[in-house]
Amino acid sequence: MTTTVYVPRDAAALSVGADAVAAAITREAALAGRAVRVVRNGSRGMLWLETLVEVVTEAGRIGYGPVTAEAVPSLIANGMLDGGDHELRVGVVEELPWFRAQNRLCFARVGVTDPLSPEDYRAHGGLTGLRRALEIGPAATVAEVTDSGLRGRGGAGFPAGIKWKTVADTPGELKFVCCNADEGDSGTFADRMLIEGDPFCLIEGMTIAAFAVGATEGYIYIRSEYPEAVRTFRRAIDIAYAQGWLGDDVLGSGLRFDLMVRVGAGAYICGEETSMLESLEGKRGVVRAKPPIPAITGLFGKPTVVNNVLTLASVPAILADGGAAYQALGVQRSRGTQVFQLAGNIARGGVFETAFGISLRDLVEEHGGGTLSGRPVRAVQVGGPLGAYLPASGLDLAMDYEAFAEAGAMLGHGGIVVFDDTVDMASMARFAFSFCAEESCGKCTPCRVGAVRGVEVIDRIVGGEDVDDNLALLGDLCELMTDGSLCAMGGLTPNPVRSALQHFADDFTPRRVTP
């Protein structure tokens, strides 16, 4: 009898030796005279357990982690292939509390299936959403997405249905669907894991979007820092064409949709949608002034849907189960589920998909297990490099767009970066400015010059130079960047700076030389 063993192919798992683990399992099983089929799945998202090996048994998929290649001989000797006991055995994966506490819609198949198997995709509900869309027609598809309350998962949270309707209502022979996979925020990796773990879901979501708005060409802009995602997605597109899921006659419906991968080139600003469009056009990734909005004048001046990976990957489930089922999840105007990402100095980091409204403290302390170092949590940054720093005392905050906006913070792309009590918040504030200086596209002065001046002012403050005057100057500078910048890069850089000053003022007292 052949035993099926899952070993993830996700980049995070590869980064801690998953390939070597897979090779060791094949080798050791052969030595033990056991027939095994090693399937390379996506990651379950419990990244502290990577490499998480799963063995299919009658009791379910039994997990072992974190497994190293060196541990494989002992695991197999102890009966891992029959689900046997071992210190690395974690039990049936789907019954782990961390896993059961989630509500996986977007990530339903990630870690479960072989990401590049069309049979797996179909067997786990794939294509149901697209078939339904083709059945009910474009207008009803847009209406379903609008009714679901789905908001853009890239950070801005714009209602997806309204964006789609604008594109659908704008006349044009040529329209585009662009997927923004330039996931540059530190602390975020859900887009990458979805692309590597369930690429067909994203292809299906983009195809539904194209059908809904009347687009015939799609582009996915993946950052160059994600070579595994690029490789996986290119292979997935080839397979999808061969299956008739893309091309001149999608699923025999007569729908034409072509999908291409474009790779970024190391510019954070290209995650801003207009800058990404410039980059897709082969230009410098310089931000465009809005209006005109991309929905009307987008890629090459044509009507264009620009959505984040998770937004588009949420669409197949919405179409399959209906907008109302999605709308039933979440709180107030934040509907459905959000894929939170626990990162930084965290004991149990990974992706955690659940309905909006869970508290930040539950995520960080209960599910995340506090810091990796074992020291007290001091600060948490939510929403990427442009998100606010929250103090350990401020974690009783509901994870939804409006609650965060009220607290002067933002949810962004759902990234949560934890710091322990050794962090120097003045240096984090300085880093926010220096990051902005490094990554600014240079088009508008508040961002281009303001970021450089910000670094200088913080250096003077911690250096003890005219502290009060320089603090006032820093306040002015933040206000100017917030009000005067063309896009969120310059406009939101003051977020981490101001929140650091507000909650960790002691760190800004002149007590040492600048790092």
Contact 56, 4 (CB under 8 A): yes
Residue 236: enclosing H or E segment and its boundaries? helix 227-243
212/292 Cα distance (integer angstroms): 22
| In the complex, minimum distance from the CB of residue 18 to another protein, in angstroms, rounded to a whole number | 11
Assign residue 408 a region: left if phi > 0, alpha if psi is -120 to 50, beta otherwise? left
| In the complex, minimum distance from the CB of residue 416 to another protein, in angstroms, rounded to a whole number | 9
Look up residue 344 and give its two tokens. Answer: 């930084």
Alpha helices in 253-292 (DSSP H): 273-280
Contact 397, 390 (CB under 8 A): yes
Measured from the CB atom, the residue of 122 and 231 that comes closer to another protein is 231
52/443 Cα distance (integer angstroms): 45
| In the complex, minimum distance from the CB of residue 274 to another protein, in angstroms, rounded to a whole number | 14
Phi, psi (deg, nearest 5) at residue 390: -110, 140
78/91 Cα distance (integer angstroms): 15
Kindly list the residues in this chain that would bind another protein in the complex (CB under 8 A).
11-12, 14-16, 47-48, 50, 183-189, 192, 224-228, 260, 262-268, 279-286, 300, 341-346, 349-350, 372-373, 381, 385, 415, 417-420, 423, 428, 431, 435, 438-439
Measured from the CB atom, the residue of 27 and 284 that comes closer to another protein is 284
| In the complex, minimum distance from the CB of residue 217 to another protein, in angstroms, rounded to a whole number | 8
Measured from the CB atom, the residue of 320 and 455 that comes closer to another protein is 455
Measured from the CB atom, the residue of 6 and 176 that comes closer to another protein is 176
| In the complex, minimum distance from the CB of residue 286 to another protein, in angstroms, rounded to a whole number | 8
| In the complex, minimum distance from the CB of residue 184 to another protein, in angstroms, rounded to a whole number | 6
| In the complex, minimum distance from the CB of residue 263 to another protein, in angstroms, rounded to a whole number | 6
| In the complex, minimum distance from the CB of residue 265 to another protein, in angstroms, rounded to a whole number | 3
Measured from the CB atom, the residue of 75 and 418 that comes closer to another protein is 418
What's 416-441 look like in SS3?
Answer: EEEEECCCCHHHHHHHHHHHHHHHCC
Measured from the CB atom, the residue of 15 and 502 that comes closer to another protein is 15
327/153 Cα distance (integer angstroms): 15
Measured from the CB atom, the residue of 285 and 490 that comes closer to another protein is 285
Measured from the CB atom, the residue of 127 and 390 that comes closer to another protein is 390
> In the sheet that 36-39 helps form, which strands lie side by side, from edge to edge?
36-39, 3-6, 53-57, 60-64, 89-92
| In the complex, minimum distance from the CB of residue 73 to another protein, in angstroms, rounded to a whole number | 21
Nearest Cα neighbor of 188 from 338, 363, 384 is: 384
Contact 441, 395 (CB under 8 A): no
430/457 Cα distance (integer angstroms): 9
Identify residue 246 by its one-letter amino acid code.
Answer: L
Phi, psi (deg, nearest 5) at residue 483: -85, -30
Which residues have CB under 8 Å from 437's CB, separation 6+? Answer: 451, 452, 454, 455
Identify residue 460 by its one-letter amino acid code.
Answer: R
Measured from the CB atom, the residue of 187 and 450 that comes closer to another protein is 187
Measured from the CB atom, the residue of 360 and 417 that comes closer to another protein is 417
Look up residue 74 and give its two tokens. Answer: 């002992």
| In the complex, minimum distance from the CB of residue 363 to another protein, in angstroms, rounded to a whole number | 13
